[in-house]
Amino acid sequence: MHVAYICIDPGIPVFGSKGASVHVQEIVRSWLARGADVTIYCTRTGDAVPADLRGVRVVSHPIARGSGPDRERSQREAAATLAAQAVQDGVTAVYERYSLFSDALTRITSASSVPGILEVNAPLIDEQRTHRTLHDEAAALGALKNQLSAAAVIACVSDPVAAWIAGHAAPNFPTKIITAPNGVNVNRIGPSPEDNGAPTVVFVGTLKPWHGVRDLIEAKALSDGSWNLRIVGDGPEGAGLRELAAVKGVDVEFTGASTPAEVPALLVGCAIAVAPYPRTEREEEQYFSPLKIYEYCAAGLPVVASEVGQVPAIIDHQVTGLLVEPSNPAALAAALDELAGTPLARRTMSVAARRFAENHSWDAVLDAILEGSDL
């Protein structure tokens, strides 16, 4: 089987360090594990190519930086060009990560009569309209409807995303829509003994407002001081968060940006992981399936996380971690203090977290997506 993995989104380097990049790489690995020959068709490659994926063929059609109608038109042109190349390459199946303005899956399945799977990770049209600028919404909606009609399976990362897709589908829509939450590579990330001394609490992610790291630093300042804090990653809020830590007089280890290959080593020795997502104005904005929480669990780390969106479906309160009120640094501090002071509870949660992760591997995610299909 020759699978075309397609990602037209210029904001996602397939060999980058952001969560979306990890998702791309892991799905490609799972296709390879099934014995497929995979070619990646994308608009942005990135330069952090994992050693085990260096043999994967990549066809790139770069899009110039910028914004506005020209960029939207460039995305449509890239989809057409890459789809034509995939048809020429003789692919026998298509797996596309949903991107604004792309109709690549539609073009390939129509030209070659091969099965196609559309993976949807966010309500991109709503996101673009709300947080950025969407110039040609009619074109974006038209491309989405065409993709939905052409796909044999539509795999949505969460139930809210699946509901969004269903809302855009035609009446009596025959295509199979399923919910396929994120997974984790349990071979790449595993448990390790805690370091001696005060427990280390770790956060992994891009330092952007919607990850709630400001609340985490506030919580550290309010805590009883019984735990250390390590923040893995960097981003637009990096400088401001370092300044906040200095103002609050708290000692925080900022590791800086890291590649996915470096993350497992940065989790070694940690005792607790945290996902302090803030409260949002609208509940429907909490549609994401948090990749970091699955990785925390694979590392055998009890997780303290905000009780928002899909998180309660992942973290079993008092079993694999603790759920806290979002945007409440005092509650977050109290939960972290509690776990830091109870090593037996941490050990019990560690075993449960790892067991949970082992049942949510990326191979299992792809198996669920393909179940009942012709692939």
CA nearest 224: which of 114, 322, 338?
Answer: 338
Q: What is the pLDDT of residue 98?
A: 97
**What length does the chain have?**
375
- Residue ranges of alpha helices (H) inside the chain are 19-33, 69-89, 104-112, 124-131, 137-150, 159-168, 213-222, 238-248, 263-267, 291-298, 329-340, 343-358, 362-370
What is the Cα–Cα distance from 271 to 336, expressed in whole angstroms? Answer: 11
Q: What is the pLDDT of residue 131?
A: 77
List CB contacts of 82: < 8 A, sequence separation 6 or more: 6, 8, 41, 42, 43, 59, 61, 104
40-96 pLDDT, tens digit per residue, is 999 999 988 999 999 999 999 999 887 788 899 999 999 999 999 999 999 999 999
Sign of CA dihedral 104, 61, 19, 53: positive
pTM, two decimal places: 0.90
Q: What is the pLDDT of residue 283?
A: 66
Fold of 200-358: Rossmann fold (3.40.50)
**Residues of CATH 3.40.50.2000 domain(s) within the chain?**
2-183+362-370, 200-358
Fold of 2-183+362-370: Rossmann fold (3.40.50)
Q: What is the pLDDT of residue 19?
A: 87
Q: Is 256 helix (H, G, I), strand (E, B) or coil?
A: strand
163-191 pLDDT, tens digit per residue, is 999 998 877 666 789 999 999 999 999 99
Residue ranges of the chain with pLDDT lower than 50? none
Say how many Å lie between the first and final Cα of the chain, rounded: 9
Q: What is the pLDDT of residue 174?
A: 63
